[in-house]
């Protein structure tokens, strides 16, 4: 049985592990952290389970892009729930519910782009989304910021990224009962049931060539693994692990890519019957508000307030209180409903996922130079492949596309086309 070693157990790593195990590989996933899942991890504080990088997804209706990846992998059997109301955007105290693209002629025209999963970008795909919206007469405040869900800097966002993320979110979002842990469990179980393993506290510290198309991977605890290798960690970090070093031109190419900003999150435990559960996400002047842990009484037990930050936050508690006040403009009962809160910063994110600077979505896919920002799954070291949000689009949809693209490079397009009904 051929061996595959996957570095990092984020969604990208687990999806590649799952697809490779279906294709006859014995897969070993090596995760440096104590928990599997990367940005899909959750944690418990005050008896409440909080999600970190997974609140809702889009494009999950039959025929839509995420469905086309998840359905063949059995992931549509998980308890997904369609959110009935559209996402809400509050600008200067006024709430706007996002329309469906089908109801806005200009947005409707984005449909071909939203379904185009290739990486040969048209000139249109690489244009600035902000400029495109202005030309289409659509208010950027309403249409740009919220649907890209914390992406920053917004002026760099390309129409390609906009179409792939906002178009689908405007068509409807979905939440998963039990959160990201359900996805992690389903994917891990598939890998293990086919003879593989998913191991935690296995920090990879070195990757070396080991025969034709094979790599040897060494962990901090000195354990060694060999096979084809798929890295779900940032390409610059992956390259730094390779010995002897990869060719200078490749390292230079990676070094010029910049990362997006990180996110500050305030995780709030709400008092019982403190505030009613709201299924849809609300964006308030760039801050994303997501309620969670609904009780049978219709009240939420937690809410996360997320905002991107450009520089380190020195007084976390004071900053969190500012965000709570900001959210209170839309939810006047919030301040009274807070029982306890905790925070995370980009530094926290960097510590847990390793992403440089704690960038939320990794390498920026800048308009105007989109093709340059997309990293190939191939590396100069035969047998070493890349996957994850840094290669293409971020988010559950983007990472899923990329996992299929990575596996297509490894297994060949024919194998992938048998499993998925679209060509990457």
Ligand X SMILES: Cc1cc2nc3c(=O)[nH]c(=O)nc-3n(C[C@H](O)[C@H](O)[C@H](O)COP(=O)(O)OP(=O)(O)OC[C@H]3O[C@@H](n4cnc5c(N)ncnc54)[C@H](O)[C@@H]3O)c2cc1C
Q: Tell me: does residue 233 bind ligand X (CB under 6 A).
A: yes
Residues 6 or more apart in contact with residue 31 via CB below 8 angstroms: 8, 9, 13, 38, 198, 199, 200, 201, 202
# residues near ligand X by CB under 6 A: 37
- Provide the minimum distance between the beta carbon of 231 and ligand X in the complex, in angstroms, as a whole number: 8
- Does 392 bind ligand X (CB under 6 A)? Our answer is no
Contact 315, 266 (CB under 8 A): no
Paired with 6 in beta bridges are 29, 230
Q: Which segment (73-81, 88-96, 312-320, 351-359) binds ligand X by CB under 6 A?
A: 351-359
Q: How far is the CB of 387 from ligand X (least distance, A)?
A: 7
| Closest C-alpha among 268, 290, 274 to residue 88 | 290
Give the C-alpha separation, 190 to 154, whole Å.
Answer: 38
11 touches ligand X (CB under 6 A)? yes
- Binding ligand X by CB under 6 A: which of 6, 17, 20, 55? 55
Phi and psi at 116, nearest 5°, equal -85, 110
Nearest approach, Cβ of residue 417 and ligand X (Å): 23
Residue 316: exposure state from Cβ atoms within 10 A (0-12, 13-18, ≥19): middle
CA distance 352 to 360: 12
Binding residues for ligand X restricted to 259-298, rule: CB under 6 A: 263, 265
Q: Which is nearer to ligand X, 31 or 156 (CB)?
A: 31
Among residues 18, 40, 246, 374, the one that binds ligand X under rule CB under 6 A: 40
**Shortest gap between Cβ of 68 and ligand X (angstroms)?**
16
Cα gap 166→148, rounded to integer Å: 6
Say if CB 320 and CB 342 are below 8 A apart.
Answer: no
Query: Nearer to ligand X by C-beta: 124 or 279?
Result: 279
Q: Is 68 in the site for ligand X (CB under 6 A)?
A: no
Nearer to ligand X, 8 or 377 (CB): 8
Binding site for ligand X (CB under 6 A): 7-13, 30-33, 38-40, 53-57, 203-204, 232-233, 263, 265, 306, 353-355, 360-361, 388-389, 394-396, 399
């Amino acid at each position: 049985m051929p061996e595959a070693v996957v570095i990092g157990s984020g969604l990208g790593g687990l999806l590649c592990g799952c697809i490779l195990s279906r294709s006859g590989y014995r897969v070993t996933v090596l995760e440096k952290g104590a928990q599997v899942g990367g940005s899909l991890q959750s944690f418990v504080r005050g008896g409440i389970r909080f999600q970190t990088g997974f609140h809702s997804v889009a494009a999950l209706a039959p025929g839509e892009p995420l469905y086309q990846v998840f359905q063949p992998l059995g992931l549509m059997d998980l308890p997904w729930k369609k959110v009935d109301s559209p996402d809400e955007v509050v600008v200067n105290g006024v709430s706007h519910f996002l329309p469906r693209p089908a109801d806005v002629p200009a947005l409707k025209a984005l449909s071909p782009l939203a379904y185009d999963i290739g990486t040969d970008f048209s000139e249109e795909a690489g244009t600035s989304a902000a400029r495109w919206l202005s030309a289409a007469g659509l208010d950027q405040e309403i249409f740009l910021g919220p649907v890209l869900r914390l992406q920053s800097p917004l002026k760099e966002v390309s129409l390609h990224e906009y179409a792939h993320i906002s178009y689908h979110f405007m068509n409807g979002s979905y939440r998963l009962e039990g959160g990201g842990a359900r996805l992690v469990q389903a994917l891990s179980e598939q890998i293990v049931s086919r003879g593989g393993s998913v191991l935690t506290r296995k920090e990879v510290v070195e990757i070396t060539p080991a025969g034709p198309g094979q790599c040897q991977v060494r962990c901090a605890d000195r354990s060694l693994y060999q096979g084809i290798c798929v890295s779900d960690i940032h390409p610059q970090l992956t390259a730094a692990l390779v010995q002897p070093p990869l060719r200078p031109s490749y390292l230079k190419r990676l070094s010029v890519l910049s990362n997006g900003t990180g996110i500050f999150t305030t995780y709030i435990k709400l008092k019982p019957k403190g505030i009613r559960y709201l299924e849809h996400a609300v964006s308030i002047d760039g801050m994303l508000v997501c309620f969670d842990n609904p009780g049978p009484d219709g009240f939420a037990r937690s809410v996360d307030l997320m905002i991107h930050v450009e520089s380190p936050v020195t007084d976390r508690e004071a900053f969190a209180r500012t965000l709570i006040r900001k959210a209170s403009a839309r939810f006047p009962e919030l301040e009274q409903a807070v029982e306890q809160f905790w925070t995370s910063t980009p530094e926290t994110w960097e510590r847990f996922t390793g992403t440089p600077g704690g960038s939320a979505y990794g390498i920026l896919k800048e308009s105007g130079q989109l093709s340059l920002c997309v990293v190939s799954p191939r590396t100069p070291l035969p047998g070493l492949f890349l996957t994850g949000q840094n290669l293409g689009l971020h988010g559950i949809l983007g990472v899923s596309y990329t996992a299929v693209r990575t596996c297509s490079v490894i297994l060949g397009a024919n194998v992938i086309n048998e499993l998925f009904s679209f060509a990457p």
